[in-house]
Every structure is written in C-alpha cells, then in structure tokens.
Amino acid sequence: MTTSDEVNTARHSTSSDSSSLINISSISSRQQANSPSSTNTSFEHVPDHAQKGDSGGGVNKGKKAKLLYCKSHVSIHPTSFNKDNISGYLGIVEVEHAVPHSLAPHLDSTAQNGGGRKTETLVTWVPDELLDRMDVEDREGYRRVEGRSNQSEHDGEEEDGFVFVSLPPPKGEKYAFSIPITSIYSILVYPPSLSHWYGSATFNLMGGISLPTLYFHDDESPLLATPHAPNTQQPLPRAQWGFPPFLSLLESRATVVRSRLLQSRKNMGAELWLVNPSKSDREVHEAGLEEEPEAIPPQRKPVLVNQPSEPPKTVPYPPKQSYPNTAVLNNVTPKQTLMTSLSNLTNLSRKAASQVLSHPLAQPVVPHLPPAVRSLVHVPGEWERTGRLPPKTGKASDVANEFESARLYLARWARVVAEEGEKARRDEIASQARLRRSSGSGSLSPMEDLESSLGVFSMLPKSYSKRPIPNPTRTPQHPITSRDWESFAAQGRDELYVRREIFKRGFTDSTESEEKKARREGWEVLLGIIPWSIGGLGGGELGKEKRKNQREEARKAKRQVYQGLKSKWKVEVNLSGGRDDWREEWHRIDVDCRRTDRNQSIYAVPSDAAKNGNHEKEGGGAATSLRRGSIADDGQGDEEEGGVAALNPHIAALRTILMTYHTYSPDLGYVQGMSDLLSPIYVVFDANEADSFWGLVGVMKMMESNFLRDQSGMKRKLSTLQQLISVMDPELYAHLERTDSLNLFFCFRWILISFKREFKFEQVIKLWEVLWTNHYSNQFILFVALAVLQSHRDVLIRYLTEFDEVLKYANDLSGTIDLDTTLAQAEVLFLSFKTLVEDLDKETQVEQKGKEGLRHRKTLSDTSGVTSKKEGDDSEENKKKERKVISEDLRELLNGWKE
Amino acid sequence: MASRKKVLLKVIILGDSGVGKTSLMNQYVNKRFSNQYKATIGADFLTRELVVDDRVVTMQLWDTAGQERFQSLGVAFYRGADCCVLVYDVNSSKSFEALDGWRDEFLVQASPHDPENFPFVVLGNKIDMEESKRMVSQKRAMTWCQAKGNIPYFETSAKEAINVEQAFQTIAKNALAQEAETELYNDYPDPIRIDSENSQNYGCNC
C-alpha cells in the first residue's frame, strides 16, 4: 500500500467506489422489472480527467425532466478541508417514460413512446461546475425553482407551469447523481448544530451503500438567508435549514417515516428517515429500541464499508445493515483489526519482555512476578538453563493492552525488575550484616553496610577518574531532633556546620509540636528568614532564652511587614476593585491554588461542600468573582462567592500569599508552579500565612530564574544538565541525542518545581531541605536529576527510541523514585564530578607547563558546553586520550553555600 | 486493503490554565473524571486507539501547561501535529478571548505547511456548571469559529462526559485528513511507532 493510495482513500472517504455503483442499477432494476445493462448507471464517481473529453457541457440535451424542487449550496465534502468542498444543487425531478423501454429516465425520456407510461421521481445532485456548463435555460430553470420553493414550499410547483431541465449524463461529473426515490432505503440526517456547522443528509440505498453526504450550506444561500434572517452571519439552526422543505416535497411522492431507533439526544441530533419502508421495517423502526442507538458511533459522515454487493433480494433489506454508521461497529473487520493489532503488540511485548527477564539480574526475580507477567518470560532455552519450568498461568494480553506502547511497557517492566532485583540484593546484604553483628564481628553500622552496597557504584561509569569512587555521607536514619537542633546553637556551631548536618540527616518527621519546631526553625534559616546566629550562639540556658526571644521578635517584625504588603493591595481592591492585571492574576492564582495538593488533608475541600454536590473545586467560584470584577479574598470562607464555594481556608491563605507575592515582585508575578512550591512551606510553617510568605520569598530567591518570562533560567539549567550528562555519562548522552531528547524537556517538571510532583508530599519536604542547604552545590538538584537518569539509563538506552517515549517514561516515574537512594547517588555523582574536574585541571596545568613558551590556547566558549578535544589525529591511541573540557556553566556547579 | 499501515495522529490541546485540558483528555482516554488533577507542568500525553473511516488509528493527545509563559517550550511538542484543539471555559470570558492568541501561537510555532487549512477544533468546556455562571454564549463562540474558517465547535463537560467522545471522534477524523495531507506534501518519515516490523531489535547481548 503506497502513501498516495492512502491519501487518496482518506481524501475520498465519503465517495463511493465503482464496485458499489453497479448496485444502484441493480436495485433500480429490481424495482422496475426488466433491467437494462449496467450502462444505465446513474451515479458514478469519475476522476476529473475522464471528463475532459466530454463534449456538450456534459449534459444530455433534449432529454428533460420536470424539476419539482431544487436547492443550491448543497455541498459534498470529500475531505475535511473547505477548499475541497464541492457546491451543487440538490433537486427532485420527475420524469415520464415508457416502462418497457428504459429504467433510467434521464437517459431515455422519450415520453411519446408507446406502452405504459410511468412517472418516476428522482433525487439528483448536480455540482455547480456542471450546471455552469449547461444551457442558460437549464440554469435559469434551477434558479427559478429554487426561488419559488423558497417562498412557498407547497404550492409553488403549480404556479407558473413546470420547469424542465436537463439531467446529468450517465457518467456523472464528479459525485453527481440522480437516483430513483424507490431505490432510497433511508436518509440519515444531521440538522445543523453547534458542533456541525452545516446540516447534512446521507442517502442510504437499498443495496446497503451510501451516497456521499450532502451538506446544506444554508448560510451561503442568498435566497434562504435574506427573508429569514437579516444577519447572515448567524445561521439559526433548524429555523432555516434546507432539509425540511426537501423532506416535505419528498413526502408528497413517497412514504417517509422517521425511525425512532435513533434518539437524537444521544446521537447529536441525528434523524433517520425511512423511505417507503417495508412493513417489517416500519414495525422495528417505529417501535424503537433501547440498545440500538448506542451502537451508532457519533460519527458525522457515514463510512462506506467495502463489502461485496449483495444480490438483489425480494425480501426487505435487514434494517440493521442499512445504517451506514453501524456498519463500522457491527462489521467484524474493524474489530478484528483492533484485535490483531493488540495481539501484535502482545507478541512484541512478549519477545522483548523475555529479553529483559532473561537478563541475569532478573532471573532471581522471575518467580516473584505476577503470573501474568511470568508468562511473558517463557523463552525456550532460557528456562532450560535455569532448570526451571515456565509457569503457564496468565495471559500476556491482560497486561499488555493496558499500555500505550510496547516499548514503554517493556521499559516499565525492566524498571520494576531492576528495582526488585536491587531490593532483593539489599535485603540480602542487610540480613548478612545482621548476622555479622549478632555474631559480634560486625563493626560497621548497618546503614554504612547498606549504603556501600546500594548499587550506586555499579551504575556509575567507571571512567571518571583513576581515584576510588567516593562514598555517600548521608545518614537519613538519624534525623535532627529538637534536642540536636538546640545543641548546635548551644555548642556554637557555625552555619556551614549546621547546613552540612541538615544535608546529611534532615529533620525528624515527628509530629510532636516541640519536634516540629526544629524543622520550622531550620527552614527559617535555610530560607533566609531568620539568621542562624540570631541572639548569639552558646551561652547556656540564658543564651537559649535570648535566642528564643529574638527569634520571636524577628518573626513579629516580618509578620508586620507582610501585613503591610497585603493590606496595600487589599485596600486598592476594596476601593476600586483592583487593577485589571491583578484580576487576571487573581484568577490564575485561584485556579491553581484550588488544585494544589488536594490530596493533603489540610487542603481538602470541606466534606459538606462535596456532599452538596458542589463542584466549585474546578474554579467555578473564580469565574463568579471574575465576572463580578472583584478579587474576593478573605482567609475564612470566601463570602464573596455567596457562600456557594465553601473554600478551604488554607487554600484561601495560599491564594492571598501568592497574590501578595505578585504585588511584591511585580516583574516576575505569579507563575504556575509557585503554588506547588508554597504548599509544603505553608504546612511546615504551621499554616502561618505571613511566615509562609517569607518562606516563599526565600525559595524564590533561589529559584527565581526558573520562572523568568523568557524561560532563560530553565533553558540554562537544562543546558547545564545536558553538559553534565555529556561529561558523566557519554553513552546516555549519545542515546538522548539519537532519540531527539537532548533538549531534556522530560526533566522540565523536575527542575522547575524541584521534584515536587515526583515524590510524595512528606518526601518532598525531606528533599527540599537537603537541596536548600546548598551544601555541595547551589544546583545540587541537577545532580539529583542526573542520579534519577542514571538509575534508569539502561532502560532508557535499551528500550526508548523516541522523544515522546522518553517523556512518557520520565513522567511516569512520578511516585516511584526512592528518595534516599537517589540522594546517595546524587552525592556520589557530585563528588565524582568534582574529582573529575580537579583531575582535568591538574592535567591542564601539567600540559600548560609543558607548553610554556607556546601561544596561550583559548578556552572554549561557554555555549558549546563540553567538547572533546583530541590530541593529534584519529589514531586509536589518541582517541583514548579524548579530553573533556569543563564549561563555565559546569564549573559553577562546584559553588556551594558560603558564609 | 488487507494491511494498511498504522497511523499515529498527533493532537495538541491548548487553552488557558484551568479550562479543563487535562480533564478532557483523561475523560476521553481513561473514561473518568478526577478532581485531583493538578496544574500541568511541562507536558504530557495520553494515547488511545480508535477507528476512523474504517481504519484503526492511534491518537496521541498532548497536554501542555496553560500559562503562556511556558509556551516558548511548545515548539518541541507542536512539531508534526495533525490537529490542534483549542479549549476554553464557557464560564470564563477571558479564556475564550484567549483563543485567538492560542491559535496564532500554535500556527507560528508549529508552522504547518498549509496554515489556512490546518484543522482546529474548539471545545467550550464545563457546561455542567449552572447556566447563570455561563459567560460565553454559544452564539459568540460560533461566530468566532465561523470567522476562523468554520472551525468545528463542541460544548463539552469533562466532568459529566458530555460530548467528549463525539468531539474527539471529530478531532481524530480531521487529524487523519491532515495527516494524509501532510504525507502528500512532505515526505515525512514513517509515522509508525508500534509496528513490530519496524522496531529495532533490542536484544540483550549477554
């Protein structure tokens, strides 16, 4: 199947193909007894070029039909593009002809011929293009009839005599048709609606095929638009739409019954009209069925199913098959296609999953996997080697069809397997350590044992340095308690020490108020709200008291400043409703605050509001206050919203803080993500609005560049991370380059809001206090990101080949990352990076000395980041000596907190 | 017609923050509404297989952050889009007035080969809220859609699953037509993602 074939199919999806055309004449013949040959085909889709030789304007002259009704601006839409629409005239004509002579009256309408005369009514559609080539007389005829029928639907016909027009030739211009109404089985009609600009009608023929859907461009028809609506820009649905007049004329020539099987509400207003229905059809369609409408997909144009033409039957056609739309679902073929594609997916998964699971690391894990997954593992040979029999339970498809892409699916499994393997190994080591300790021989703490076996090391590329890989120093199992915290000050420790301690241990999670204070005070220091040395260090009990008092005073002062900042904008809002940009910002803030950490109990929407069926959570209240043009703010309950939105007071507080920040830092303003940063601070600061505001100010001092209007800060950070990957893991870098992922957009969320969405709320708090120490680096977060990437590098490299797959995989890591392992790994990566830079610098120095007297070499530009410099030519020997050059951006990573 | 190749339709969902882009996408793909969604940071996508014009296609729906500040990153996500869905909240005029900007921004960043005819679909979301809150009338939305080249317009509720299925069916259909056009004009690389024949062999070397 070539591309152009496909395009063609798509472009003409609504047109019929030639095989179905024969059907029309055969239906027609069934209705009319003696059938002539297939040259009577009255409808055909003929490519443009085939028409070129058609002389005489492509119209059968002299063979006229009585035009009973016609309507212009009825179009066929071969594609979804307006430019492809074909506008034309829909008409109802009547011809008289001798029964034995011909069945296609437009071909042979010799009314004077002997024999029984019979009038036949036909429905025609002629494209404008064809009409333009007709006689002036014909064109005038069409226009006259349309104008007439517009003024009066019923009596116009007889007023000034009949209008005779020519009909399309046997080989109709593209899409043109004229079909006897006796061959119409049904008409599927969609009145104009909000979703469908133009009403449409599709003629379904007795043979089960459908003619191209006709769209009524009523708004473009001058005749219709003028008398009814002076404002032609506003087509009024139904009031002036073109189908009902057509229908009423049709009803005068045939029995037309509306099917009750289609419930218009469920089917976008679809109406199904049966033309001359059989008795059995009538029964079925007039009774109506409940389940039937569900089977009809909400699809606009009927889809032509390429099923073989059924031979003419004398029995009425089964009603079901005449729904053009149901054919899509009722026909087995598409279903089968779906199933086939699913099974293909499963086959692929099976193949690759077995490759993952046959990895030596995975082997011990296999028996622990759920049966459904185990069944993926079976590969002859692999099992023989391990001497185990494959379990036979489960269906791979159960697992496989839950996932979008096979590779992504595999990557996830590979991850799970690796994690399970890692966990098993750690458990093993921990139990050995316990054994050693109980036997009295173990002098190491279990944690040290555990960490030295974290697998961190096996994941690091070995080539950073000739020196041994550094050890992580964190001991999160010994968090800082309030006693520890107090002792730091009592012992006169400096801030550098305190920050290092926080980095290594973090604060205790105890919920006792005394213990919670330690973290709170710690954060006040880290966020620059209250200096570490406030009230002096040391000094025994007196010193402790002094520190406490001064700390409280400092808080009070800060709170006062906050109240000032807050009342400034509030007063303005009360006086004048506030500035326009404030109202816009208020709306943004409101919408975001309402959906920030809703799963945390503190921010949960009051349950009574939820019970009342109140769904204001999504920002409805905001809409209200916006409409009123006011900024509705108070900490307790939001009266402005008429008591409708029972707003959680804590969410209201977040809103107020962010609005105050917006006025405090107008250049930056509120940016999405800030509410995420604020929320944990607010919790740690015990829901104190003013303190949390200053906490936000402190965080934003560190992270402001992330939120700049031009995104330059984020771009720079991602670029630095990219360079870091290039230095630390060239293989991963190369893979990201291959997968078009070097922009690292899949890390965007990680960096922008410091992994807020990747860890659970409590873990985020632990991560952030580590990051904010700036202990090793002011941008330690980049090493955390690198650590996450590194622990998934094998999966990334092996399975993910596209940018979107990488992004999806990264997004889906949310909630699966182990914090302490990652931080340990990040620390090791930082230390390795530091060592690498030192070594490189040493080498450079040696080199510089060696090259003394030579011209000073220029350092590489920042923008190029890291490049590999080759000494000499491309010989193998020299390639090994490829040297990494550290850019300024990378060098900055070595800067940490300074007094 | 036995073995048609699989088609991946890339659809970008744009609109102001909080209009319900994530909710619509999840309602369509996962058939559920959650009141736990957060503001989207960065970008994400969901995929769903469906039948359009007798073909099985995979629709990839891209959800992006609603704040305009983040749109400069959009170019990476917009590339190769087959249809763009513009979403606004019928209860917020502001979100409706922003549609022009979103449309222009998309055309600039995605630079489709034929911007005049690139398929857009407009969704007016949150129609489940009480009528008194409504700020944008059908008429107003329709006028805009008509002026922009008869963009199909749907009024939806992601919360109550009103019109969501229908809207995305139309989106898929228009995207498929666009995909065909694109293939016609540019010799784009094979769009297949999930075809077993074409995927590389990632066997392990151990």
**Number of other residues whose CB lies within 10 A of the CB of residue A604:** 14
DSSP strand pairing (A199-205 vs A184-190): antiparallel
Q: Which residue of A has its CA nearest to B83?
A: A80
Evaluate whether residue B195 is within a structural domain. Answer: no
Residues of A in contact with B126 (CB under 8 A): 618, 620
Compute chain B's Rg from CA coordinates: 17
Q: Per-residue DSSP letters for A366-403?
A: GGGS-HHHHHHH--TTHHHHHT-PPP--S-HHHHHTTS
Q: How far apart are CA A352 and CA A798, in angstroms?
A: 10
Q: Which residues 38-67 of chain B have a CB within 8 Å of chain A? A: 38-39, 41-47, 49, 51, 53-54, 56, 58, 60, 65-67
Residue whose tokens read 């500040």: B69
Look at A82 and B117 and tell me if their CB atoms are within 8 Å: yes
The backbone region for B38, taken as left when phi is positive above 0, alpha when psi lies in -120 to 50, beta otherwise, is beta
Q: Which residue of A has its CA nearest to B47?
A: A404
Task: List the structure tokens of B99.
Answer: 């549609």
Cβ burial, residue A360 (10 Å; 0-12/13-18/19+): exposed
Asked whether the beta carbons of B64 and B12 are under 8 A apart, the reply is yes
CA distance A220 to chain B (A): 12
Q: How far apart are CA B100 and CA B105, in angstroms?
A: 8
With an 8 Å Cβ cutoff, is A801 touching chain B?
Answer: yes
Q: How far apart are CA B91 and CA A179, in angstroms?
A: 48
Which of B122, B193, B201 is the best mutation test for A, with the most CBs of A within 10 A?
Answer: B193
Q: Per-residue DSSP letters for A310-345?
A: PPP-SSPPPGGGG-TTHHHHHSHHHHHHHHHHHHHH
Look at B39 and A592 and tell me if their CB atoms are within 8 Å: yes
Residue A434: what residue type? R
Q: How far apart are CA B46 and CA B59, in angstroms?
A: 8
Asked whether the beta carbons of A406 and B47 are under 8 A apart, the reply is no
Q: Which residue of A has its CA nearest to B74?
A: A745
Q: Is A13 helix (H, G, I), strand (E, B) or coil?
A: coil
Phi/psi for A816 (5° steps) reads -115, -5
Evaluate whether residue B192 is within a structural domain. Answer: no
Q: Per-residue DSSP letters for A598-650?
A: TTSGGGPPPHHHHHTT--GGGTHHHHHHHHTT-----SSS-GGGTT-S---HH
Rounded (10°) angle between helices A689-703 and A649-664: 50
Residues of A in contact with B165 (CB under 8 A): 298
Residues of A in contact with B163 (CB under 8 A): 195
Q: Which residues 95-114 of chain B have a CB within 8 Å of chain A? A: none
Q: How far apart are CA A304 and CA A288, in angstroms?
A: 25
Look at A623 and B133 and tell me if their CB atoms are within 8 Å: yes
With an 8 Å Cβ cutoff, is A571 touching chain B?
Answer: no
Phi/psi for A3 (5° steps) reads -65, -45
Q: What is the pLDDT of residue A251?
A: 87
Q: How far apart are CA A656 and CA A667, in angstroms?
A: 18
Residues of A in contact with B79 (CB under 8 A): none
Residues of A in contact with B97 (CB under 8 A): none
Rounded (10°) angle between helices A649-664 and A674-684: 120
With an 8 Å Cβ cutoff, is B27 touching chain A?
Answer: no
Q: Which residues contact B147 (CB under 8 A, 6 or more apart)?
A: none
Q: How far is CA A47 from CA A12, A50, A52, A175, A344, in A?
A: 11, 6, 10, 9, 37
Residues of A in contact with B145 (CB under 8 A): 197
Which of A80, A585, A590 is the best mutation test for B, with the most CBs of B within 10 A?
Answer: A80
Q: What does the angle CA A392 – CA A396 – CA A401 come to, to the nearest 5 degrees?
A: 165
Task: List the structure tokens of A21.
Answer: 């055309």
Range of the domain at B96: 7-185
Q: Which residue of A has its CA nearest to B66?
A: A672
Q: Which residue of B has its CA nearest to A795?
A: B202
Evaluate whether residue B162 is within a structural domain. Answer: yes
Residues of A in contact with B93 (CB under 8 A): 627
Q: How far apart are CA A31 and CA A179, in angstroms?
A: 12
Residue A381: what residue type? G
Which of A340, A618, A764, A794 is the best mutation test for B, with the most CBs of B within 10 A?
Answer: A618
DSSP strand pairing (B7-14 vs B55-64): parallel
Evaluate whether residue B191 is within a structural domain. Answer: no
Task: List the structure tokens of B167.
Answer: 């809207």
Q: What does the angle CA A657 – CA A663 – CA A664 come to, to the nearest 5 degrees?
A: 80
Q: How far apart are CA A182 and CA A275, in angstroms?
A: 8
Residue B101: what residue type? G
Look at B170 and A195 and tell me if their CB atoms are within 8 Å: yes
With an 8 Å Cβ cutoff, is A598 touching chain B?
Answer: yes
Q: How far apart are CA A324 and CA A70, in angstroms?
A: 25
Residues of A in contact with B149 (CB under 8 A): 82
Rounded to 10 degrees, what is the CA torsion of A657, A659, A663, A665?
Answer: 60
Q: How many CB pairs under 8 A join A and B?
A: 238
Nearest by CB to B177, from A10, A347, A709: name it: A10
Stretches in chain A below the pLDDT threshold 70:
1-63, 79-81, 98-117, 148-161, 167-174, 194-197, 207-208, 221-240, 261-268, 287-409, 421-422, 425-426, 428-430, 432-466, 606-646, 852-884
Q: Is A164 helix (H, G, I), strand (E, B) or coil?
A: strand
Which of B1, B31, B37, B54 is the best mutation test for A, with the most CBs of A within 10 A?
Answer: B54
Look at B39 and A356 and tell me if their CB atoms are within 8 Å: no
Q: Which residue of A has its CA nearest to B38?
A: A595
Whether the per-residue pLDDT at B90 is higher than 80: the answer is yes
With an 8 Å Cβ cutoff, is A197 touching chain B?
Answer: yes
Compute chain A's Rg from CA coordinates: 39
Q: What does the angle CA A780 – CA A785 – CA A791 come to, to the nearest 5 degrees?
A: 125
Nearest by CB to A619, from B3, B18, B195: name it: B18
Q: Which residues contact A208 (CB under 8 A, 6 or more apart)?
A: A23, A185, A307, A309, A310, A317, A321, A322, A327
Evaluate whether residue B57 is within a structural domain. Answer: yes
Q: How far apart are CA B77 and CA A25, in angstroms?
A: 51
With an 8 Å Cβ cutoff, is B197 touching chain A?
Answer: no
- What average pLDDT does range B160-171 have in this prediction? 96
Nearest by CB to A347, from B72, B152, B196: name it: B196
The size of chain A, in residues, is: 899
Q: Per-residue DSSP letters for A669-690?
A: ---TTHHHHHHHHHHHTTT-HH
Query: For the domain that residue B38 is a member of, what is the CATH number?
Result: 3.40.50.300
With an 8 Å Cβ cutoff, is B205 touching chain A?
Answer: no
Q: Looking at the DSSP assignment, which residues form a beta bridge with residue B120?
A: B84
Look at B169 and A707 and tell me if their CB atoms are within 8 Å: no
What is the H or E stretch that residue A273 is in? strand A271-275
The backbone region for A672, taken as left when phi is positive above 0, alpha when psi lies in -120 to 50, beta otherwise, is beta
Asked whether the beta carbons of B28 and B168 are under 8 A apart, the reply is yes
Residues of B in contact with A595 (CB under 8 A): 18, 37-39
Q: How far apart are CA B136 and CA A201, in angstroms?
A: 30
Q: How far apart are CA A411 and CA A356, in angstroms?
A: 9
What is the biggest distance separating any 2 CA atoms in chain B, rounded to whole angstroms?
67
Evaluate whether residue B97 is within a structural domain. Answer: yes
Asked whether the beta carbons of A796 and A732 are under 8 A apart, the reply is yes
Q: Which residue of A has its CA nearest to B193?
A: A405
DSSP state of A161: -
**A101-160 per-position pLDDT tens digit:** 444 444 433 334 445 667 888 888 888 877 777 777 777 777 777 776 555 444 444 445
With CA atoms as reference, report the closest residue to A679 among A703, A699, A705.
Answer: A699
Residues of B in contact with A407 (CB under 8 A): 199, 202
CA distance B53 to chain A (A): 6
In the sheet that B7-14 helps form, which strands lie side by side, from edge to edge? B43-52, B55-64, B7-14, B83-89, B120-125, B153-155
With an 8 Å Cβ cutoff, is B153 touching chain A?
Answer: yes
With CA atoms as reference, report the closest residue to B25 among B83, B81, B87, B69.
Answer: B87
What residue ranges define each of the domains in chain A, with the CATH number in brackets? 3-43+58-330 (2.30.29.230), 334-430 (no CATH), 554-707 (no CATH), 712-899 (1.10.472.80)
CA distance B9 to chain A (A): 13
The size of chain B, in residues, is: 206
What is the H or E stretch that residue A119 is in? strand A117-127
Evaluate whether residue B99 is within a structural domain. Answer: yes
Residues of A in contact with B150 (CB under 8 A): 82, 197
Evaluate whether residue B115 is within a structural domain. Answer: yes
Counted domains in chain B: 1
Nearest by CB to A233, from B91, B143, B173: name it: B143
Strands (E), chain B: 7-14, 43-52, 55-64, 83-89, 120-125, 153-155
Nearest by CB to A672, from B36, B67, B73: name it: B67
